[in-house]
Structures are given as C-alpha cells and as structure tokens.
Structure 1
Amino acid sequence: MNSIKYTLDRYENDLAVFLLKDDESIEKLVPTMELPERIKEGDIVEMEFADNGSIQTLTILRNDTQKMKSDIEHLINKLKNK
C-alpha cells in the first residue's frame, strides 16, 4: 500500500476534510475519531488506508508543515511590502 500526502483543511461536524497534496480539488473525508488529538488544521500528513477505507497509518509531517507555513508567511510579507 502507498502512503499519500494530504493537508488537513478543516473540520465539518464529526469529519476531518483532507485535501490531496498534489491536487487540492480532491477531498478525503475522515471521521475525527480516527485521528490523533494532536493534529490540527494546516498539518500535512502521510496516510495509508485499509481496504475498508479506515486509516491504517497516519504520520504528521512536521517539517513539511513548518516549511509550508514559512513559505506562506514569506509571501504575505512580500505582498504587504509592495
């Protein structure tokens, strides 16, 4: 099974909405009870799913998340200083 990168976009009721990292038009809905408590919106994760659709493994990619946030911060500052 291949692991796939997603970004946790938001929570809707009892579901977490993940966006596929390579194509953010593709959503994956995951029951929040399947997630670790420490995950938060904006986190980039690698997930593998079992045949029944439940999460088999989930790894929060802290370095990827921090780099993305830093890149966004840099772009915002660049726009502010125009």
Structure 2
Amino acid sequence: MSSTKYTLDRMEDGYAVFLKYPDEEEQLIILQSAMNKPVEVGARVQIEEVDGFYYIDILKEETEQRRANMQHLMDKLRKRTNRN
C-alpha cells in the first residue's frame, strides 16, 4: 500500500476507523495495536502500511485548518439557530 491521506473518524472496540481524503467515502479500519502512534479523532494523517503495520504521520497544519473550518461552520450554525 502506498502512503495515502486519511481523516480519523472514530475509535471503536480497539479499532481506528479512517476515512480516505478527500471524498471520505472509503474506510480504512486498523487495529490500534498495529499503529505506530496514537491519533486523535478528527486528525488528518498520512498512512503507509508495511507488512501489516501502519506508519502514521499526523499532518498538523491540515488538521488545525480542518478544525478551524469545522469551528467556523459550528459558529455559523449557532448564530442561525439563535436567530430563530
């Protein structure tokens, strides 16, 4: 498997569920013990699989930008809800 970008969607029963970037339609489910480091939900990462082990590089700038965009959308929704 070549190195590919994903977003960590959730953790379930010892597994990490990643969504392939940018469409976020294709899932990659990895046993947490097969990952080289822990990852926070919502993080954008680069993943490379080598012999059943997953090497994860957290893309800090992209993760921060994604979180800022989500916060902006949440703020807009709150303002819209408060007007009604």
Instruction: Tell me the TM-score range normalised by the shorter chain.
Output: 0.7 to 0.9
* Amino acid of the structure 2 residue aligned with 1:58: I
Q: Does 1:71 align with 2:69?
A: yes
Residue in 1 aligned with 2:24?
24
List structure 1 segments (4+ residues) > 6 angstroms apart after TM superposition.
none
Amino acid across the alignment from 2:30: V
Number of residue pairs matched by the alignment: 79
The amino acid that maps onto 1:74 is: H
Q: What is the aligned-residue identity percentage?
A: 33
Looking at structure 2, the residues matched to 53 and 24 of structure 1 have their Cα atoms a distance apart, in angstroms, of 22
Name whichever structure is richer in helix by fraction.
2
Matching residue of 2:41: 41
- Determine the structure 1 residue equivalent to 2:13: 13
Give the superposed CA RMSD.
1.6
Corresponding residue for 1:54? 53
Which segments of 5 or more consecutive residues in structure 1 lack a partner in the other structure?
none
Residues 38-71 of structure 1: CA deviation (Å, up to 9, x unaligned): x111111001122x4431x310011111100100
User: Post-superposition shift, 1:72?
Assistant: 0.7
CA distance in 2, matches of 1:74, 1:13: 31
TM-score normalised by length of structure 2: 0.81
Q: Which has the larger radius of gyration?
A: 2
